[in-house]
Amino acid sequence: MTPHTVSGSRGLLQAEPLLFEIGDVHRTGVDLPAPKGVDRLGGLKRKAALDLPGLTEPEAVRHYVRLSQKNYAIDLGLFPLGSCTMKHNPRLNERLARLDGFADLHPLQPLSTVQGALELMAELAHWLMELTGLDAVALSPKAGAHGELCGMLAIRAALEARGEAETRRRVIVPSSAHGTNPATAAACGFIVDEVGATEDGHVDLEEFKQKLGDDVAAVMLTNPNTCGLFERDVKTIADLVHAAGGYFYCDGANYNAIMGRVRPGDLGVDAMHINLHKTFSTPHGGGGPGAGPTVLSQALAPFAPVPHLVRRDDKSLALIEHADDASSAPFGRMCAFHGQMGMFVRALAHMMSHGADGLKQAAEDAVLNANYVLARLKGHYNAPFGDQPCMHEALLDDSTLRANGVETIDLAKALLDEGYHPFTTYFPLVVHGAMLIEPTETESKRELDRFADVMIALAERAAAGDSAFFKAAPQHAPTRRLDEVKAARQPKLRWKPEEASARAAAE
Ligand SMILES: *Cc1c(COP(=O)(O)O)cnc(C)c1O
């Protein structure tokens, strides 16, 4: 039963309406004289009042604190969201990122005053190239998807330099790929050609071979793939695409599973983005854009975007900002400045505090934890590829539960009531009703067992036929089950005062 209270609050979790509903355009939280002559912004003149809601300071503070308490966070509990690598962000990294010398820099400061920061970027680039065995790195992309764009633009530039941009238009993408891969290829003007998966969750090598031809620009492959499996044929795939004159883009979002164990450069990768927020434990988008540096092979290095970090004769560092000043052929630039300094500091702090051996162990522990979860759960859920060890993610599906009327979405909602953010649902698309669980290396055995115990109890409840329990979940979350299809198809993107007052009157 829904806990019902007079106030709508649940225990100490306060009910909270929208800012527009608690504020009032005729109220203000500050006591300043009415501004004069500020109805202009450049050549634009304000025609009507902005109608922003005014609140007292405590109302404003409470509004955001109440909302923040409805949030789930990695600092609150295990966050098993597969493919996202939600792991603990060590506080040491945060401390270093807040040092004045890094946090207070302005991107237009004279280079002579930012040598320490540039040195840090050079050191980070060195670590990334050493770890991946690749020749160059563009630090500026601001997310994994942005890094994909960077890599694919480098490939397009390389094809243009070869005079083959018009003829090599096709990019081969596996059916299990993350949605950003085909989106990036299409955004760069390529034609996306899907290659299927085998029964055991790998790229279908025979079908891949048939797709090769002199119109192929590249293959985009994730390794380990989104089924949480290592693509054993990766070297063959690289050799084949190279022999056909194409490039190998590797989606490096899952690099956290193989870091220190294998160098992508040795596998024949030409371009790969690295999600610092996944592998190197910087917050996901926390406090600003993320960072998705892209490593490039010798073949693509000349096309790396500006700015380029270069060491002068006097050993000081400089940034080459314009393509005309570069000794190579940059395809352009990815963003206004040099990238996300705060993320660079956190990532390098993470690397240096772990050391090379520690990073390797982090990857091994991530794989060990996922295999532990898989081993505990596969007797209770169907594990489509459970007869082989997984990498950093355990993949289950709802096929054994559907007969009892319980589906992946119902389990995800029931997990909310148990105090967990759900696993990734319905991805990868190649598995019907997929549940993708990524525990990461930062969870202890105790936490993994606690989570597995909950998952097992839920599976038993579903097996006992209690579908009503699942359909009613979540019972304890701030909002009950939403009509997600309607929310996606007919999103309400504007708050309208009339609707709000009509609703208040109806209540
Ligand atoms: C996370 C992820 C991406 C995209 O990275 P963002 O930083 O979210 O843009 C791409 N591919 C895979 C497999 C991912 O898991």
292 CA closest ligand 1 atom index: 7
Q: What is the average pLDDT across 62-76? A: 92
Element (H, E) at 505: helix 497-506
- Calculate how far, in angstroms, residue 19's C-alpha sits from the geometric centre of ligand 1: 32
C-alpha 162: how far from its chain's center? 33
For ligand 1, whether the C-beta of 180 sits within 6 Å is yes
Q: How confident is the model over 330-357, as pLDDT tens digits?
A: 999 999 999 999 999 999 999 999 999 9
pLDDT on residue 51: 82
Closest C-alpha residue for ligand 1 atom 2: 253
Length of the chain equals 507
* 102 φ/ψ angles, rounded to the nearest 5 degrees: -105, -45
| DSSP conformation class of 306 | B
CA of 253 to the centre of ligand 1 (A): 5
Query: Are the beta carbons of 171 and 220 closer than 8 angstroms?
Result: yes
Across residues 66-91, what is the average pLDDT?
93
In order of their start, the domains of the chain are 92-349 (3.40.640.10), 357-489 (3.90.1150.10)
What integer pLDDT is reported at residue 407 of this predicted model? 97
Look at residue 107 in the predicted model and tell me its pLDDT: 92
290 lines ligand 1 (CB under 6 A): yes
pLDDT band at 248 (very low <50, low <70, confident <90, very high): very high
Largest Cα span, the chain: 75
pTM over 0.85: yes
Three-state DSSP class for residue 180? helix
For atom 5 of ligand 1, the residue with the nearest CA is 144
Q: Whose CA is nearest to atom 14 of ligand 1?
A: 253
State the chain's mean pLDDT as an integer. Answer: 93
388 in Cβ contact with 229 (< 8 Å) = yes
Name the percent of the chain lying above pLDDT 70.
Answer: 97
Mean pLDDT of 63-84: 93
Taking 50 as the threshold, does the pLDDT of residue 465 lie above it? yes
Question: Residue 287 has what pLDDT?
Answer: 52
Ligand 1 pocket residue status of 434, Cβ below 6 Å? no
Band (pLDDT 50/70/90 cuts) for residue 43 is confident
- Reported as a single tens digit per residue, the pLDDT across 366-424 is 999 999 999 999 999 999 999 999 999 999 999 999 999 999 999 999 999 999 999 99
Supply the pLDDT for residue 26: 87
225 within ligand 1 shell (Cβ under 6 A): no
pLDDT at site 418: 97
Between 33-42, 177-186, 418-427, 436-445, the lowest mean confidence (pLDDT) is in 33-42
Instruction: Provide the pLDDT confidence category of residue 11 given band limits of 50, 70 and 90.
Output: confident
Measured from the CA of 180, which atom of ligand 1 is nearest? 10
Would strands 216-222 and 170-174 be described as parallel, antiparallel, or unpaired?
parallel
Atom 15, ligand 1: residue with shortest CA distance: 83
Which ligand 1 atom is nearest residue 278's CA? 1
Q: Give the position of tokens 């084949």.
A: 240
Residue 294 beta carbon below 6 angstroms from any ligand 1 atom:
no
Higher local confidence (pLDDT), 48 or 209? 209
Whether 316 has a pLDDT exceeding 90, the answer reads yes
> Is the shortest distance between the CB of 227 and ligand 1 below 6 Å?
no
Closest to 240 measured CA to CA, from 287, 198, 203: 203
- Is residue 263 predicted with pLDDT exceeding 90? yes
Residue closest by Cα to atom 4 of ligand 1: 144
Distance from the alpha carbon of residue 292 to the mean position of ligand 1, in angstroms: 9
Tell whether the model's pLDDT for residue 282 goes beyond 70.
yes
Q: Which of 191, 180, 192, 195 is nearest to 149 (CA)?
A: 180
DSSP secondary structure code for residue 162 in this structure = T
- Position 507 scores a pLDDT of 59
Q: Does 1 score more than 50 pLDDT?
A: no
Nearest protein CA to atom 7 of ligand 1, as residue: 144
